[in-house]
A = this chain, B = another copy of it.
């Protein structure tokens, strides 16, 4: 069963926000959806090298439950499902922007490498 966020009680706002973003891939899913607007399941998979099918769907479901992601199902053959950010999800991404800049600066500071596009999934421990 998907657990999603524990929904409190929290120590403070950061605690509540981290709860929703906790999970190995959630912030990356946010990032991916933010930059592409709408993405199909397979597109998301390709955008997140190394993610397993199971974790991707699980995180997506939890984020949907938390009101961050919208899931649109098209009853066709072959199946087609589109994921996008809700208003709430967009606002979270905006709030994450400054953190992203900090992280980028830190990467330069410590000389960390960046995973570009479809470079090896194995790069990630």
Contact = CB atoms under 8 A, between A and B. Distances in A.
Interface of A: 6-18, 20-21, 27-28, 30-31, 48, 88, 91-92, 94-107, 109-110, 112-115, 117, 119-120, 123-125
A113 B9 contact: yes
Contacts of A99: 13-14, 17-18, 95-96, 98-99
A12 B113 CA distance: 10
The count of identical subunits is 2
A48 B14 CA distance: 14
Most buried by B among A12, A17, A88, A117: A12
A120 B2 CA distance: 27
A60 to B, nearest CB: 17
